[in-house]
Amino acid sequence: MTIERIEPGARLSEAVAYGNLVFLAGHVAEDTSAGMYEQAADCLRQIDAHLAAAGSDKSKLLTIQIWITDMALFPELNRAWDEWVDKANLPARATVESRLANPGWLVEIAGVAAR
């Protein structure tokens, strides 16, 4: 089976599709001055685009991993999540606190989808 690499950059691909599975890189916001809600919504918009490029969409998400830099912002993360996620097709999910590579990033989101 062919491995399809979506938006390969200098160091990683934004998504990698293999057979019926799509592996999403850790997605981060473009605007590091934005708050948690805006950053999370931006990550999820980027994930929509990369899932589409791989022939998938959020209704086919299998599992999501979320890292946030401050658990005090968990409600704001969930506000963006709840507006975005397909409630008829909820993925498995884990959310933990970690510092991220850019001090302006408040959230990073990776996952695996079917296609």
Q: Which residues bind a copy of itself (CB under 8 A)?
A: 1, 3, 5, 8-16, 18-21, 23-26, 60, 62-65, 67, 71, 74, 78, 81-82, 85, 89-101, 103, 108, 110, 112, 114
Q: How far apart are CA 39 and CA 53, in angstroms?
A: 21
Half-sphere exposure of 99 (CA within 13 A, CB side): 3
Half-sphere exposure of 43 (CA within 13 A, CB side): 31
Q: How far apart are CA 28 and CA 32, in angstroms?
A: 9
Shortest distance, position 31 Cβ to a copy of itself, whole Å:
20
Q: Cβ closer to a copy of itself: 38 or 78?
A: 78
Q: Cβ closer to a copy of itself: 52 or 71?
A: 71
